[in-house]
Chains A and B, each alone.
Chain A
Protein backbone atom coordinates (compact mmCIF):
# COMPACT_ATOMS: atom_id res chain seq x y z
CA UNK A 1 0.00 0.00 0.00
CA UNK A 2 1.49 3.32 -1.05
CA UNK A 3 1.65 6.00 1.61
CA UNK A 4 -0.12 9.25 0.83
CA UNK A 5 0.50 12.43 2.75
CA UNK A 6 -2.14 14.79 4.06
CA UNK A 7 -1.11 18.01 5.77
CA UNK A 8 -2.90 18.90 8.97
CA UNK A 9 -2.64 22.65 9.29
CA UNK A 10 -3.08 24.59 12.50
CA UNK A 11 -3.16 28.40 12.43
CA UNK A 12 -2.16 29.73 15.83
CA UNK A 13 -2.45 33.14 17.47
CA UNK A 14 -1.67 33.46 21.19
CA UNK A 15 -2.55 29.86 22.04
CA UNK A 16 0.42 28.87 24.22
CA UNK A 17 -1.87 27.29 26.84
CA UNK A 18 -3.51 24.99 24.30
CA UNK A 19 -0.52 23.96 22.20
CA UNK A 20 0.78 21.02 24.26
CA UNK A 21 -2.62 19.37 24.26
CA UNK A 22 -3.07 19.94 20.50
CA UNK A 23 0.40 18.60 19.75
CA UNK A 24 -0.19 15.44 21.79
CA UNK A 25 -3.52 14.84 20.08
CA UNK A 26 -1.95 15.41 16.68
CA UNK A 27 0.80 12.90 17.38
CA UNK A 28 -1.75 10.29 18.46
CA UNK A 29 -3.85 10.99 15.38
CA UNK A 30 -0.78 10.69 13.14
CA UNK A 31 -0.03 7.22 14.54
CA UNK A 32 -3.62 6.08 14.06
CA UNK A 33 -3.79 7.36 10.51
CA UNK A 34 -0.59 5.66 9.39
CA UNK A 35 -1.59 2.37 11.04
CA UNK A 36 -5.21 2.29 10.00
CA UNK A 37 -5.26 4.10 6.67
CA UNK A 38 -1.66 4.20 5.49
CA UNK A 39 -1.85 7.99 5.48
CA UNK A 40 1.09 10.06 6.60
CA UNK A 41 -0.19 13.03 8.56
CA UNK A 42 2.20 15.93 8.16
CA UNK A 43 1.71 18.45 10.97
CA UNK A 44 2.05 22.12 9.98
CA UNK A 45 1.67 24.98 12.44
CA UNK A 46 1.37 28.61 11.35
CA UNK A 47 2.10 31.18 14.02
CA UNK A 48 0.34 34.38 12.99
CA UNK A 49 2.49 36.85 14.90
CA UNK A 50 1.66 35.66 18.43
CA UNK A 51 2.73 37.99 21.22
CA UNK A 52 2.77 35.28 23.89
CA UNK A 53 5.17 32.31 23.99
CA UNK A 54 3.41 30.30 21.29
CA UNK A 55 6.33 30.56 18.84
CA UNK A 56 8.88 29.35 21.42
CA UNK A 57 6.65 26.45 22.34
CA UNK A 58 6.09 25.47 18.71
CA UNK A 59 9.85 25.45 18.11
CA UNK A 60 10.20 22.77 20.79
CA UNK A 61 7.84 20.36 19.03
CA UNK A 62 9.42 17.57 17.03
CA UNK A 63 8.30 16.33 13.62
CA UNK A 64 6.29 19.41 12.79
CA UNK A 65 6.69 22.10 10.17
CA UNK A 66 6.58 25.62 11.55
CA UNK A 67 5.61 28.58 9.40
CA UNK A 68 5.22 32.01 10.86
CA UNK A 69 4.53 35.64 10.29
CA UNK A 70 6.17 38.30 12.43
CA UNK A 71 3.00 40.37 12.49
CA UNK A 72 -0.59 39.33 13.13
CA UNK A 73 -2.21 39.46 9.70
CA UNK A 74 -5.40 37.53 10.41
CA UNK A 75 -6.79 34.03 10.16
CA UNK A 76 -7.55 34.39 6.45
CA UNK A 77 -3.93 35.24 5.75
CA UNK A 78 -2.77 32.24 7.79
CA UNK A 79 -5.09 29.92 5.86
CA UNK A 80 -3.86 31.32 2.54
CA UNK A 81 -0.26 30.65 3.61
CA UNK A 82 -1.15 27.11 4.68
CA UNK A 83 -2.98 26.43 1.40
CA UNK A 84 0.01 27.75 -0.54
CA UNK A 85 2.35 25.59 1.54
CA UNK A 86 0.24 22.49 0.82
CA UNK A 87 0.06 23.40 -2.86
CA UNK A 88 3.85 23.38 -3.02
CA UNK A 89 4.09 20.03 -1.24
CA UNK A 90 3.24 16.54 -2.47
CA UNK A 91 0.28 16.20 -0.09
CA UNK A 92 -3.02 15.01 -1.56
CA UNK A 93 -4.89 17.52 0.56
CA UNK A 94 -5.03 19.28 3.87
CA UNK A 95 -7.02 19.30 7.04
CA UNK A 96 -7.39 22.66 8.72
CA UNK A 97 -8.18 22.72 12.41
CA UNK A 98 -8.38 25.62 14.85
CA UNK A 99 -5.53 26.35 17.24
CA UNK A 100 -7.82 26.60 20.28
CA UNK A 101 -7.80 22.87 21.02
CA UNK A 102 -11.59 22.54 20.76
CA UNK A 103 -11.53 19.96 18.00
CA UNK A 104 -11.67 16.27 18.73
CA UNK A 105 -9.07 14.74 16.46
CA UNK A 106 -10.74 11.32 16.62
CA UNK A 107 -13.13 12.94 14.14
CA UNK A 108 -10.40 12.79 11.51
CA UNK A 109 -11.39 9.17 11.05
CA UNK A 110 -14.93 10.21 10.14
CA UNK A 111 -13.50 12.19 7.26
CA UNK A 112 -11.36 9.26 6.18
CA UNK A 113 -14.09 6.66 6.63
CA UNK A 114 -16.31 8.61 4.28
CA UNK A 115 -18.96 9.41 6.88
CA UNK A 116 -19.80 12.60 5.07
CA UNK A 117 -22.93 13.62 3.32
CA UNK A 118 -24.12 16.29 0.99
CA UNK A 119 -27.12 18.50 1.46
CA UNK A 120 -28.61 19.20 -1.89
CA UNK A 121 -30.85 22.14 -2.62
CA UNK A 122 -31.50 24.96 -2.72
CA UNK A 123 -32.76 28.43 -3.04
CA UNK A 124 -33.13 30.95 -0.25
CA UNK A 125 -36.91 30.69 -0.29
CA UNK A 126 -36.82 26.89 0.22
CA UNK A 127 -34.51 27.33 3.19
CA UNK A 128 -37.04 29.55 5.02
CA UNK A 129 -40.12 27.53 4.18
Chain B
Protein backbone atom coordinates (compact mmCIF):
# COMPACT_ATOMS: atom_id res chain seq x y z
CA UNK B 1 0.00 0.00 0.00
CA UNK B 2 1.17 3.48 -0.69
CA UNK B 3 3.23 5.21 1.94
CA UNK B 4 1.18 8.34 1.57
CA UNK B 5 -0.62 7.59 4.81
CA UNK B 6 2.63 8.07 6.74
CA UNK B 7 2.55 10.88 9.23
CA UNK B 8 3.56 13.52 6.68
CA UNK B 9 0.49 15.70 6.43
CA UNK B 10 1.67 18.21 3.83
CA UNK B 11 4.19 17.30 1.11
CA UNK B 12 5.67 19.87 -1.28
CA UNK B 13 7.44 19.19 -4.56
CA UNK B 14 11.00 20.51 -4.78
CA UNK B 15 12.33 21.79 -8.12
CA UNK B 16 15.72 22.77 -6.68
CA UNK B 17 17.56 19.49 -6.42
CA UNK B 18 20.92 18.43 -7.81
CA UNK B 19 19.55 16.20 -10.59
CA UNK B 20 16.98 18.72 -11.88
CA UNK B 21 17.27 19.77 -15.54
CA UNK B 22 14.75 22.61 -15.29
CA UNK B 23 16.14 26.10 -15.83
CA UNK B 24 13.98 28.53 -13.92
CA UNK B 25 13.99 32.19 -15.01
CA UNK B 26 16.37 34.17 -12.77
CA UNK B 27 13.73 36.49 -11.32
CA UNK B 28 11.53 33.59 -10.26
CA UNK B 29 14.51 31.75 -8.83
CA UNK B 30 15.37 34.82 -6.73
CA UNK B 31 11.73 35.11 -5.68
CA UNK B 32 11.69 31.51 -4.58
CA UNK B 33 14.93 31.99 -2.60
CA UNK B 34 13.43 35.08 -0.97
CA UNK B 35 10.39 33.13 0.16
CA UNK B 36 12.60 30.30 1.36
CA UNK B 37 14.08 32.77 3.87
CA UNK B 38 10.70 34.26 4.70
CA UNK B 39 9.49 30.76 5.59
CA UNK B 40 12.62 30.21 7.66
CA UNK B 41 11.66 33.24 9.74
CA UNK B 42 8.61 31.16 10.70
CA UNK B 43 10.94 28.16 11.42
CA UNK B 44 9.85 26.32 8.29
CA UNK B 45 12.76 24.79 6.40
CA UNK B 46 11.53 24.09 2.89
CA UNK B 47 13.50 24.15 -0.37
CA UNK B 48 10.74 25.32 -2.69
CA UNK B 49 7.93 27.25 -0.97
CA UNK B 50 6.51 28.68 -4.23
CA UNK B 51 5.98 25.29 -5.82
CA UNK B 52 2.54 24.26 -7.03
CA UNK B 53 2.87 20.46 -6.88
CA UNK B 54 1.56 19.66 -3.44
CA UNK B 55 -0.06 16.84 -1.50
CA UNK B 56 -2.44 17.71 1.33
CA UNK B 57 -3.77 14.96 3.56
CA UNK B 58 -7.16 15.01 5.18
CA UNK B 59 -5.64 15.98 8.53
CA UNK B 60 -4.57 19.25 6.95
CA UNK B 61 -7.70 19.72 4.87
CA UNK B 62 -10.19 19.29 7.70
CA UNK B 63 -9.02 22.40 9.56
CA UNK B 64 -7.25 24.44 6.93
CA UNK B 65 -7.20 28.22 7.01
CA UNK B 66 -6.19 30.40 4.06
CA UNK B 67 -6.56 34.17 4.09
CA UNK B 68 -7.31 36.12 0.91
CA UNK B 69 -7.75 34.92 -2.64
CA UNK B 70 -4.36 35.65 -4.19
CA UNK B 71 -2.23 32.58 -3.53
CA UNK B 72 -2.01 29.88 -0.91
CA UNK B 73 1.32 28.03 -1.27
CA UNK B 74 3.12 29.75 1.59
CA UNK B 75 0.02 30.03 3.79
CA UNK B 76 -0.51 26.26 3.62
CA UNK B 77 3.03 25.77 4.96
CA UNK B 78 2.54 28.31 7.76
CA UNK B 79 -0.88 26.93 8.66
CA UNK B 80 0.56 23.40 8.84
CA UNK B 81 3.53 24.55 10.92
CA UNK B 82 1.35 26.46 13.40
CA UNK B 83 -0.73 23.28 13.81
CA UNK B 84 2.44 21.20 14.36
CA UNK B 85 1.73 19.08 11.29
CA UNK B 86 4.62 17.29 9.62
CA UNK B 87 5.82 18.86 6.35
CA UNK B 88 7.77 16.81 3.81
CA UNK B 89 9.38 17.45 0.43
CA UNK B 90 9.85 15.33 -2.66
CA UNK B 91 12.11 16.02 -5.64
CA UNK B 92 10.13 16.71 -8.82
CA UNK B 93 10.83 17.58 -12.44
CA UNK B 94 9.34 20.49 -14.33
CA UNK B 95 9.05 21.14 -18.05
CA UNK B 96 9.00 24.63 -19.58
CA UNK B 97 5.57 26.21 -19.95
CA UNK B 98 3.94 25.40 -23.30
CA UNK B 99 1.74 28.47 -23.59
CA UNK B 100 0.05 31.08 -21.44
CA UNK B 101 1.61 33.24 -18.77
CA UNK B 102 2.10 33.14 -15.04
CA UNK B 103 0.02 35.38 -12.77
CA UNK B 104 3.08 36.11 -10.63
CA UNK B 105 4.11 39.76 -10.76
CA UNK B 106 5.63 42.53 -8.70
CA UNK B 107 2.72 42.59 -6.24
CA UNK B 108 3.18 38.88 -5.42
CA UNK B 109 5.62 39.32 -2.48
CA UNK B 110 3.64 42.21 -0.99
CA UNK B 111 0.32 40.36 -1.00
CA UNK B 112 1.79 37.03 0.07
CA UNK B 113 3.74 38.51 3.01
CA UNK B 114 0.67 40.53 4.12
CA UNK B 115 -1.42 37.38 4.03
CA UNK B 116 1.22 35.41 5.96
CA UNK B 117 1.25 38.08 8.69
CA UNK B 118 -2.56 38.14 8.75
CA UNK B 119 -2.66 34.34 9.05
CA UNK B 120 -0.07 34.41 11.85
CA UNK B 121 -2.04 37.05 13.75
CA UNK B 122 -5.27 35.11 13.20
CA UNK B 123 -3.75 31.86 14.42
CA UNK B 124 -1.74 33.37 17.28
CA UNK B 125 -4.22 35.97 18.51
CA UNK B 126 -3.36 35.53 22.16
CA UNK B 127 0.39 35.90 21.61
CA UNK B 128 0.23 38.74 19.09
CA UNK B 129 -2.76 40.81 20.24
CA UNK B 130 -4.32 39.83 23.57
CA UNK B 131 -1.16 39.37 25.67
CA UNK B 132 0.55 42.61 24.53
CA UNK B 133 -2.81 44.39 24.82
CA UNK B 134 -3.32 43.31 28.42
CA UNK B 135 0.32 44.13 29.23
CA UNK B 136 -0.14 47.61 27.79
CA UNK B 137 -3.38 48.08 29.77
CA UNK B 138 -1.60 46.97 32.94
CA UNK B 139 1.16 49.55 32.47
CA UNK B 140 -1.50 52.16 31.73
CA UNK B 141 -3.36 51.37 34.96
CA UNK B 142 -0.16 51.41 37.01
CA UNK B 143 0.61 54.85 35.58
CA UNK B 144 -2.96 55.88 36.41
CA UNK B 145 -2.54 54.81 40.05
CA UNK B 146 0.74 56.71 40.21
CA UNK B 147 -0.95 59.78 38.71
CA UNK B 148 -3.77 59.56 41.27
CA UNK B 149 -1.17 59.30 44.04
CA UNK B 150 0.62 62.40 42.72
CA UNK B 151 -2.73 64.22 42.54
CA UNK B 152 -3.63 63.19 46.12
CA UNK B 153 -0.37 64.47 47.57
CA UNK B 154 -0.82 67.69 45.61
CA UNK B 155 2.07 67.33 43.15
CA UNK B 156 -0.33 67.44 40.18
CA UNK B 157 -3.42 69.52 39.70
CA UNK B 158 -5.12 67.07 37.30
CA UNK B 159 -5.55 63.31 37.76
CA UNK B 160 -4.80 62.47 34.11
CA UNK B 161 -2.17 64.79 32.76
CA UNK B 162 0.16 62.12 31.38
CA UNK B 163 -0.23 61.49 27.62
CA UNK B 164 1.85 58.29 27.83
CA UNK B 165 -0.76 56.90 30.22
CA UNK B 166 -3.57 57.55 27.73
CA UNK B 167 -1.48 56.05 24.95
CA UNK B 168 -0.89 52.81 26.88
CA UNK B 169 -4.56 52.47 27.82
CA UNK B 170 -5.94 53.23 24.35
CA UNK B 171 -3.34 51.03 22.60
CA UNK B 172 -3.86 48.20 25.07
CA UNK B 173 -7.63 48.39 24.81
CA UNK B 174 -7.53 48.37 21.02
CA UNK B 175 -5.20 45.38 20.84
CA UNK B 176 -7.15 43.39 23.42
CA UNK B 177 -10.56 44.16 21.93
CA UNK B 178 -9.35 43.26 18.41
CA UNK B 179 -7.86 40.04 19.78
CA UNK B 180 -11.03 39.07 21.64
CA UNK B 181 -13.17 39.86 18.57
CA UNK B 182 -10.96 37.60 16.42
CA UNK B 183 -11.23 34.85 19.06
CA UNK B 184 -15.03 35.16 19.07
CA UNK B 185 -15.05 35.03 15.27
CA UNK B 186 -12.80 31.96 15.29
CA UNK B 187 -15.01 30.15 17.81
CA UNK B 188 -18.13 30.95 15.81
CA UNK B 189 -16.65 29.83 12.51
CA UNK B 190 -15.52 26.54 14.11
Q: Using a CB–CB distance below 8 Å, which chain A residues touch chain B?
A: 1, 6, 13-15, 17-18, 21, 37-39, 73-77, 79-80, 83, 86-87, 91-98, 100-104, 107, 110-124, 127-128
Contacts and interface: CB of A to CB of B under 8 A. Distances in A.
Nearest to A127: B40
Contacts of B4: 6, 39, 92-93, 111-112, 114
A37 B2 contact: yes
Interface in B86-140: 86-100, 102-103, 115
Interface residues of B, number: 55
B1 interface: yes
A71 B87 CA distance: 33
A83, A93, A113, A127: residue with the most chain B Cβ atoms closer than 10 Å: A93
A83 B66 CA distance: 10
Contacts, number: 161
Contact of B46 (A96, A101, A119): A119
Contact of A98 (B41, B53, B75, B115): B53
Contact of A107 (B44, B45, B56, B93): B93
Given A18-B100, A93-B56, A121-B45, A37 B1 contact: yes
A73 B68 CA distance: 10
Contacts of A118: 8, 86-89
Given A1-B1, A74-B103, A110-B91, 11 more contacts: A18-B98, A75-B71, A76-B68, A95-B55, A97-B52, A97-B53, A101-B95, A102-B96, A110-B92, A111-B55, A111-B90
Interface in B37-59: 37, 40-41, 43-47, 52-58
Contact of A119 (B47, B93, B98): B47
A104 B41 CA distance: 31
Contacts of B41: 124
B187 interface: no
Contact of A127 (B45, B62, B72): B45
A14, A17, A121, A124: residue with the most chain B Cβ atoms closer than 10 Å: A124
Nearest to A125: B40
23 contacts: A79-B72, A80-B66, A87-B61, A95-B53, A95-B55, A96-B52, A96-B54, A96-B56, A97-B52, A98-B52, A100-B98, A101-B95, A101-B98, A102-B97, A104-B92, A104-B94, A107-B13, A112-B3, A114-B2, A114-B4, A116-B88, A118-B86, A124-B40
B188 interface: no
B3 A103 contact: no
